[in-house]
Amino acid sequence: MGAFALLLWLNVSTLAPFRNFGYEFFVFQHVLTFFGFIIAIMLHLPSTALETRTYIWIPIGLYLFDRLVRTALIGWNNSRKMSTTIVPIDGEVTKICVSGSRVRKWGPGSFVLLSIPHYGIGQSHPATIASTPESHGGDLVFLLKARTGFTKKLLSSANASDFTLVTSSGDKNAHAKGESHRAFIDGPYGGTQGDFAAFDTVLLVAGSTGITYVLSILLDLAARAGKQKLPLRRLELVWAVKRSLQSNWFPEEIESAFSSLQAAGIEANLRVFVTGNEAFRDSADSSGLSGDDGINLPEYTQEPRQEPQKSAKIPCATVVTGRPAMKVIVPDLALQAQGELGVAVCGPLGLSTAVRNTVAVSMGKRPIYLHVEGFGW
């Protein structure tokens, strides 16, 4: 009974509410429960069941082998001293730049387990790489939303001193408020399954810090477009943020990428939707699903009510107040596409749900490839 109870808890504790309660606690109890389950099974077996015990030692051996290989890879990746620049930006978000890593190859959408011992010994947290091997001088760039524990310590410490943050062009003369510490990297892992350069039209949808996943695809497409002719004809980037200042998290990166795409003859458009406008929120339907960072995005959204304006930091961006009307944006692009439409979304649950439902309805008009990236851990 004890073994079954541990197995049940091992599965139930992987649900999102438990993970979001506290990442450090989730990892600790998950590993502890795993070993408790193995021990409980061993205690339930009679001493004469030697052949049966073999099936217990096999998973133990596989786990130890995995630990050994991962430790060797982590040791190699971190054999060179790496420094981490931590800079606070609007929206209680920390921008992190890791320099000097041996990790030189990763695909768009990849993530690592980031550890900064100064903020917690033995702790590692998943973080999507916003940069590409060709951008930021080869450094790894991340955005982490402050919650509790590790991420909260990061944001608090980032306000302490002045340091230098590397821009997308590798310019180290741009000073920003922040701090530097030693970092360790485990990874990279994951990445996009489909090649978005192979589509006629691409729609990238991001909500809040989901821009890190989307930006890596954008930078990859821009770099490849400058080297070879791509089938890609049109790219649309839709970014929903709570406040307009949050659209300035990656101004140079986005502007440079759009310039490269347009120079390659690819039509590129950026629309920033500011969802935190009080006048809009008071009159909008409040029955939607609430996501991270305070962005409330119902399944079917309304058209923005404010006339489009240009962003001062990102000249290529059109900024509007309201929620992105995915039930309008996706079908329009599907009808205008001359080939297959590729859609990637990373953001709060409400935004992902709206995109999923709209793509499902629009599949009859045009072949659509959809990739939904998880938002959280």
The reported pLDDT for the residue numbered 302 is: 44
Domain total in the chain = 3
User: How does pLDDT run across 26-62, given as a tens digit for each residue?
Assistant: 888 888 888 888 888 888 887 777 778 888 888 889 9
Containing structural domain, residue 233:
196-373
pLDDT digits (tens, 9 = 90+) for 205-254: 999 889 999 999 999 999 999 899 999 999 999 999 988 888 888 888 99
- We report the CATH number of the domain holding residue 128 as 2.40.30
| 364 in the same domain as 287 | yes
Q: What DSSP letter does each residue of 288-319 carry, written as one string?
A: SEE-GGG-EE-SS-PPP-SPPEE-SS-TTEEE
pLDDT digit string (tens) for 317-369?
788 888 899 999 999 999 999 999 999 999 988 899 999 999 998 887 778 99
In this prediction, residue 258 carries a pLDDT of 93
Q: Given 155, 189, 223, which residue is the final one in a domain?
A: 189
Q: 95 and 241: one domain?
A: no
The pLDDT of residue 171: 45
| CA dihedral (275, 143, 129, 257) positive or negative | positive
Residues in contact with 99: Cβ distance below 8 Å, sequence separation at least 6, in sequence order: 82, 83, 84, 85, 137, 139, 166
Residue bearing the bigger pLDDT, 178 or 142: 142
pTM: 0.75
Structural domain ending residue among the three candidates 163, 189, 215? 189
Residues 57 and 109 in one domain: no
> Is the pLDDT higher at 151 or at 242?
242
